[in-house]
């Protein structure tokens, strides 16, 4: 005896695309609060649209999803904190919420923002805090991973 499963409903796979990043931060004497021998600024922010995120492939405006974020340990300064915020709603049907205040990014997935339906060009800004003049000169980087989870 053979059994067959047939579904009359189409199947959907939600996709996430992130473009851009923050590659133009160069810290120099301009960032010292009071000139030579003083401390660095408290934090550094990227442009408001350093990364653009698009969520596509939903089944429509009622298909609810969540974007999560994490970083991978690489050549990152241990005392520094990387934070992100969503600076706009992007375009598309459905809705978008949360993520408009900075949240710290760690090495485990944390919720960033939620929405429904396809959304494109959602702008993201980065902030780095906790740097000091004790950090040796060099190039520091981190890999940021955005994940969309169908809810």
Give the pLDDT of residue 9.
57
Nearest Cα residue to 18 out of 47, 51, 56, 48 = 51
Give the pLDDT of residue 13.
85
What confidence tens digit (pLDDT) does each residue in 29-43 have?
666 766 665 677 778
pTM: 0.86
Backbone phi and psi for residue 30, each to the nearest 5 degrees, phi listed first:
-60, -30
Query: Which fold would CATH assign to domain 20-150?
Result: Immunoglobulin-like (2.60.40)
What confidence tens digit (pLDDT) does each residue in 59-73 have?
999 999 999 999 987
The yes-or-no verdict on residue 15 having pLDDT over 70 is yes
More confident residue, 3 or 92: 92
Give the pLDDT of residue 5.
46
More confident residue, 53 or 40: 53
More confident residue, 97 or 77: 97
Binned at pLDDT 50, 70 and 90, residue 99 comes out as very high
Q: How far is CA 118 from CA 11, 18, 49, 51, 55, in A?
A: 15, 14, 19, 17, 5
């Amino acid at each position: 005896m053979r059994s067959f499963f047939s579904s009359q409903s189409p199947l959907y796979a939600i996709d996430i695309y992130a473009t851009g990043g923050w590659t133009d931060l160069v810290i120099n004497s301009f960032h010292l609060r009071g000139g030579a021998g003083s401390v660095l600024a408290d934090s550094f922010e990227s442009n408001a649209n350093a990364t653009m995120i698009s969520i596509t492939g939903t089944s429509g405006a009622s298909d609810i999803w969540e974007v999560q974020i994490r970083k991978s340990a690489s050549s990152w300064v241990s005392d520094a904190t990387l934070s992100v915020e969503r600076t706009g709603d992007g375009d598309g049907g459905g809705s978008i919420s949360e993520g408009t205040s900075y949240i710290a990014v760690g090495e485990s997935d944390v919720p960033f923002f939620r929405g429904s339906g396809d959304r494109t060009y959602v702008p993201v800004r980065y902030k780095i805090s906790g740097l000091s003049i004790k950090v040796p000169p060099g190039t520091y980087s981190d890999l940021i991973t955005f994940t969309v989870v169908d809810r």
